[in-house]
Amino acid sequence: MKKKWLFSFVLLPFIGRAQTGGKCTIEVNVDTVKASKVYITWNEEDVYHLDSANIVKGKCTLHENIPYPVSTRLWLDNRGFGYTNGNLPDMLYFYMEKGSINIKTRDSARKSVITGSKVNNEIVVYRKYVAGPVGVLMDINRTFITASTDKRRDTTFTNPLWAKQYAAGEELVELDRKFAKENPDNYGSLLALNEAGGGNIKADVIGPLYNGLSQRLRNSDDGKRLSGRIETARRTGIGVKAPDFTQNDVNDKAIKLSDFRGKYVLLDFWASWCVPCRKENPNYVKAYNMYKDKNFTLLGVSLDRKEGKDAWIAAIQKDGLEWPQVSDLKYWYNEVAKLYDVKAVPTNYLIDPNGKIVAKNLRGEALLKKLDELLKSE
């Protein structure tokens, strides 16, 4: 699927916990009169944090207590839109860690220079290494976001973008793998392997690269977290029995995956807010109508939020999804998504009547072809 790089929703960077936590002091020096406020946001496990500080004479300071180094996003409010700053935020990714971090820039958060941080120094090495394809992907994303609605619907405009995007994405994956192999003790290698693994890690590819990392990285909490993702990928690989689960449908009725034993089941992770998911739904409807009388069904798992339940139900009705739908409405922290290590949507698993996974991430004609192959004798 060529749109995977523009539209994939990888959760959170996994760098962190390599050092003990403590107090982090962030000194921001902005040589511009435009920016009046700094915002930072970060996640600790399932908890979202937001803090801000007013810029006075080009400077401000933030003090945070963190349990371990955490990936953080910083915005300069120089356009009056608050920390989101509209569709094209002036944003910097960096890592809070124990001690003092200095962030200095003239007028753009993205062009900041960070000093006083070992983790950030190592990440800078990695980011320079992959700057080429990352820059291409950002330009494509910016081009698409700022295009008119009519242009976004024009395939003569979008198809070249998707082709360029796909090529840049493939180049990025190759560079990520190469960086991790060549830099086994650089924290950027953990970020590289998570990026290369994407939403669905291939354990046979990422596992050996992970094993080649230094003990320092593998023993960090985030190194252990990556190890856990790799193990989960092995437990949800082709030929493995799909992990069972129970979750409630839109009417709060409990539904088990094992309830569908004896049928082929397409387990679909999606969300009402996910554009590529909604675009894929017509293909699922087609597959369902073609094969529902031949021992096939689907089971949808939504990554919608609690406050988005109405939107979830509306999307089910609008898209004509007649098969069972479940969710705990915990967004990316959906318990089933965590069980299957889902870091991007749409993601799907085709499960046979014995409960074994026989294919992953089948889209469009590929799904119909696989179902025809499996069900033609039914």
Cite the DSSP H helix spans in 48-130: 118-129
Which comes out higher in pLDDT, residue 28 or 18? 28
What is the biggest distance separating any 2 CA atoms in the chain, rounded to whole angstroms? 75
Taking residue 182's Cβ as centre, other Cβ atoms within 10 Å add up to 11
Q: What is the pLDDT of residues 34-51, one digit of tens each?
A: 778 888 998 886 688 999
Q: How far is 378 from 363, CA to CA, in rounded Å? A: 22
Q: Which two tokens stand for residue 205?
A: 């590819």
- Mean pLDDT to the nearest integer, 341-347: 91
Cite the DSSP H helix spans in 212-334: 215-219, 221-235, 275-291, 309-319
338 CA to centre of own chain: 12
Q: How far is 362 from 40, CA to CA, in rounded Å? A: 38
The superfamily in CATH containing domain 246-375 is Glutaredoxin (3.40.30.10)
Report whether pLDDT(154) > 50: yes
Give yes or no on whether 22-114 and 246-375 have one common fold: no
In the structure, what pLDDT confidence band is assigned to residue 376 with cuts at 50, 70 and 90?
confident
Name the DSSP class of 249: B
By DSSP bridging, strand 296-302 and strand 70-77 are unpaired
22-114 topology per CATH: Immunoglobulin-like (2.60.40)
pLDDT for res 16: 38
Domain positions in the chain? 22-114, 129-235, 246-375
Q: How far is 315 from 273, CA to CA, in rounded Å? A: 9
- Reported as type and span, the H/E element at residue 139 is helix 131-146
- Mean pLDDT to the nearest integer, 148-172: 93
Q: Looking at 59-73, 200-214, 279-293, which range is the least confident one? A: 59-73
Report whether pLDDT(311) > 90: yes
In the structure, what pLDDT confidence band is assigned to residue 12 with cuts at 50, 70 and 90?
very low
Report whether pLDDT(18) > 50: no
- Reported as type and span, the H/E element at residue 33 is none
Q: How far is 69 from 76, CA to CA, in rounded Å? A: 22
Nearest to 352, CA basis, from 229, 247, 285, 257? 257
Report whether pLDDT(86) > 50: no
- DSSP count for the chain of H helices, then E strands: 13, 15
